[in-house]
């Protein structure tokens, strides 16, 4: 294996997904803590603690204790280069999460053991299943009184349609929670709250009949563990890495991220079994291999004002093949132009460091002057077009009212840049110059207004419209399309790409309209064009 192949094989790129408040951002912090990337984890919910969560770097995220935008964090652990992406859990920011899932090779799914499988968990798992993305599951908050662990396993299999394989098992629960027994490593791990799981907290117990188990956790909990493990071995199949890599089986770990319970075991197993960089899909059904000699990369996220002090704009790129080199000239496929980047960066949330090279699986930042769009392909001259990055039809539409005419340019710039980031979608009506803002969820308006005010110093308000549904419109017959536009001009607008969009009061109106309009195609999702 040559040096480049070794660098590719040692990379692991994954996203953390969950329902809001399941503990996703907390476990992100603890993975970074055990990985040596940080020395003190923040506490999202603690108002007494002045430290802020590392992965939530936007001011609004820190104030509300929610993740609004995907954070990228890279660190080294056991000789592997790990690229971790902490995604928004709230459904109002779904598009950011879906885009992120197109550029990772595996996922860590966090489930609140008190609440069990929730709506967002179902949807995100469905997206992973469609793409056959391997999933490791972490049952969180075992230090609280919650659902029976066996019940949680059954619920995952029934509701998420994936076979489970317990890799650790809780010893007690709630107030009696003593730690976990690693079925993967045959070790009993005892914990102090917020400890680091040092060697003295770990006891090798290969045979559960060993009386040492009774000494460590008490006879009652020891007997319960023995009964549970015997039942697990009867009911659930052993770990099958092939089934895991195909997205058919999920290894399951138990613990408490807040108290560091079970996180190190999870990380160690992840490093052992998670897939290295995988081929990325292209238009036409082909793939680009990570081991291809020539460089290719995919822009999947754009963020303006990542550092408000410098008013910069960064394009996030997944390296798909070859080696990316600093100061080398590359080809921007959509524009047909070449460019050179002098300061490519690696990420630790909002902190960045300049790098000289990057390999498949790495997520890097490129300084952007407004050239790049989500879905763009960067190559050494090859014409490649990546697929799988969707834009979803909004469900809430509002008009934008400028409250300060002297700041019109700032407002326009802010709307344009935040639209390019995918924070919201902006549409211009055909029969006027009126602009409509479309979102999937109401919280996106809060984010938009907050960022316009704090980053662009623009004041505006949003007024409701009658529309709650939309679809993109296409027709290969130019005359037929023009006829359709004449008939429905008051309900039509164009998105920032110039594509035609039909607005309606509800989904039923759309279905009825297009039943009558023969030859006109409509769709509720749109791939960004490369």
* Residue 529 confidence (pLDDT): 40
State the pLDDT confidence band at 369, using cuts at 50, 70 and 90.
Answer: confident
Rounded to whole angstroms, the maximal C-alpha distance in the chain is 84
Closest CA to 319 of 1, 31, 7: 7
29-38, 64-73, 214-223, 430-439: which range is least confident on average? Answer: 64-73
CATH topology of domain 3-67+106-273: Rossmann fold (3.40.50)
The model's pLDDT over 99-156, given as tens digits with 9 standing for 90+, comes to 888 899 999 999 999 999 988 788 888 888 888 999 999 999 998 998 999 999 999 9
Per-residue pLDDT averaged across 94-103, rounded? 78
In this model, does residue 242 exceed pLDDT 80? yes
Beta bridge partners of 426: 437
Which class for 59: exposed (0-12), middle (13-18), buried (19 or more C-beta within 10 A)? middle
Domain boundaries, the chain: 3-67+106-273, 280-379, 390-527
* Residue 94 confidence (pLDDT): 61
In this model, does residue 487 exceed pLDDT 60? yes
Residue with tokens 């968990």: 121
Q: Please tell me the distance from the alpha carbon of residue 487 to that of residue 464, in angstroms, as a whole number.
A: 24
Q: Read out DSSP for 139-202?
A: EE-TTSS---HHHHHHHHHHHH--EEEESEEEES-GGG--EEEETTTTEEEE--TT----GGGE
User: Crossing angle, helix 408-421 and helix 443-456, to 10 degrees?
Assistant: 130
* Residue 307 confidence (pLDDT): 58
Q: Among the ranges 159-173, 252-266, 297-311, 438-452, which has the highest mean pLDDT value?
A: 159-173
Are 271 and 279 within 8 A, CB to CB?
Answer: no
**Phi, psi at 172, each rounded to 5°:** 80, 175
Average pLDDT, the chain: 85
Q: Please tell me the distance from the alpha carbon of residue 401 to that of residue 413, in angstroms, as a whole number.
A: 15
Q: Please tell me the distance from the alpha carbon of residue 372 to that of residue 314, in angstroms, as a whole number.
A: 9
Closest CA to 344 of 333, 331, 328, 332: 328
* Residue 95 confidence (pLDDT): 67
Q: Please tell me the distance from the alpha carbon of residue 97 to that of residue 530, in angstroms, as a whole number.
A: 20
Q: Please tell me the distance from the alpha carbon of residue 235 to that of residue 151, in angstroms, as a whole number.
A: 13
Q: Please tell me the distance from the alpha carbon of residue 302 to that of residue 456, in angstroms, as a whole number.
A: 17
In this model, does residue 504 exceed pLDDT 50? yes
Q: Please tell me the distance from the alpha carbon of residue 43 to that of residue 60, in angstroms, as a whole number.
A: 15
The answer to whether the 3-67+106-273 and 280-379 domains have the same CATH topology is yes
Per-residue pLDDT averaged across 64-69, rounded? 48
45-49, 143-147, 186-190, 375-379: which range is least confident on average? Answer: 45-49
Per-residue pLDDT averaged across 2-21, rounded? 92
Per-residue pLDDT averaged across 2-26, rounded? 91
Q: Please tell me the distance from the alpha carbon of residue 529 to that of residue 373, in angstroms, as a whole number.
A: 9
Closest CA to 36 of 73, 67, 72: 73
In this model, does residue 43 exceed pLDDT 50? no
Strand order in the sheet with 460-464: 460-464, 396-402, 435-439, 425-429, 492-494, 500-504, 469-474, 521-523
Per-residue pLDDT averaged across 171-195, rounded? 82
Closest CA to 182 of 253, 111, 273, 109: 253
CATH topology of domain 390-527: Alpha-Beta Plaits (3.30.70)
Q: Read out DSSP for 426-479?
A: EEEETTSS-EEEEESSTHHHHHHHHHHHHHH---EEEEE-S--EEEEEE-S-HH
Beta bridge partners of 261: 256
* Residue 303 confidence (pLDDT): 80
* Residue 514 confidence (pLDDT): 93
Q: Does domain 280-379 have CATH number 3.40.50.1970?
A: no
Q: Among the ranges 94-103, 194-203, 316-325, 350-359, which has the highest mean pLDDT value?
A: 316-325
Percentage of residues in the chain having pLDDT higher than 70: 87
Q: Please tell me the distance from the alpha carbon of residue 312 to that of residue 196, in angstroms, as a whole number.
A: 37
């Amino acid at each position: 294996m040559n040096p480049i192949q070794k660098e590719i094989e040692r990379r692991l790129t994954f996203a953390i997904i969950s329902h809001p408040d399941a503990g996703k951002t907390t476990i992100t912090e603890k993975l970074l803590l055990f990985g040596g990337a940080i020395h003190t984890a923040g506490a999202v919910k603690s108002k007494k603690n002045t430290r802020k969560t590392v992965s939530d770097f936007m001011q609004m995220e820190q104030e509300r204790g929610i993740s609004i935008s995907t954070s990228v964090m890279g660190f080294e652990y056991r000789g592997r280069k790990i690229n971790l992406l902490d995604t928004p859990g709230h459904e109002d920011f779904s598009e950011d999460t879906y885009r992120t899932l197109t550029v990772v090779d595996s996922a860590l799914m966090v489930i609140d053991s008190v609440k069990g499988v929730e709506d967002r968990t179902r949807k995100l798992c469905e997206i992973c299943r469609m793409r056959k993305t391997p999933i490791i599951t972490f049952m969180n908050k075992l230090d609280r009184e919650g659902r029976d662990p066996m019940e949680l396993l059954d619920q995952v299999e029934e509701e998420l349609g994936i076979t489970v394989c317990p890799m650790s098992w809780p010893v007690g629960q709630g107030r009696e929670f003593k730690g976990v027994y690693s079925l993967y490593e045959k070790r009993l791990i005892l914990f102090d709250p917020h400890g680091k799981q040092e060697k003295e907290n770990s006891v090798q117990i290969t045979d559960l009949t060993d009386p040492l188990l009774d000494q460590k956790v008490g006879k009652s909990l020891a007997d319960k563990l023995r009964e549970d493990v015997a039942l697990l071995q009867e009911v659930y199949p052993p770990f099958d890495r092939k089934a895991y890599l195909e997205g058919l089986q999920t290894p399951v770990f138990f613990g408490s991220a807040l108290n560091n319970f079970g996180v190190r075991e999870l990380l160690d197993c992840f490093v052992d079994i998670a897939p290295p960089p995988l081929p990325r899909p292209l238009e036409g059904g082909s793939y680009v291999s990570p081991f291809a000699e020539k460089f290719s990369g995919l822009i999947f996220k754009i963020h303006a004002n990542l550092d408000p002090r410098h008013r910069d704009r960064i394009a996030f790129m997944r390296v798909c093949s070859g080696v990316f080199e600093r100061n080398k000239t590359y080809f921007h496929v959509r524009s047909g132009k070449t460019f050179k980047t002098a300061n490519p960066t690696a990420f630790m949330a909002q902190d960045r460091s300049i790098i000289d090279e990057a390999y498949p699986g790495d997520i890097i930042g490129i300084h952007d002057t407004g050239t790049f769009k989500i879905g763009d392909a960067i190559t050494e001259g090859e014409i490649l077009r990546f697929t799988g990055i969707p834009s979803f039809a909004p469900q809430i539409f509002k008009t934008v009212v400028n409250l300060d005419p002297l700041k019109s340019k700032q407002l326009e710039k802010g709307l344009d840049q935040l639209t390019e980031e995918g924070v919201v979608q902006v549409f211009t009506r055909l029969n006027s110059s009126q602009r409509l803002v479309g979102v999937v969820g109401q919280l996106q308006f809060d984010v938009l207004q907050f960022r316009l005010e704090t980053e662009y110093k623009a004041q505006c308000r949003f007024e409701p419209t009658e529309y709650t549904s939309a679809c993109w419109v296409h027709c290969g017959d130019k005359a037929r399309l023009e006829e359709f536009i004449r008939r429905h001009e008051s309900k039509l607008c164009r998105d920032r790409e110039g594509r035609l969009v039909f607005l309606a009061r509800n989904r039923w109106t759309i279905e009825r309209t297009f039943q009558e309009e023969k030859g006109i195609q409509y769709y509720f999702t749109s791939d960004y064009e490369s």
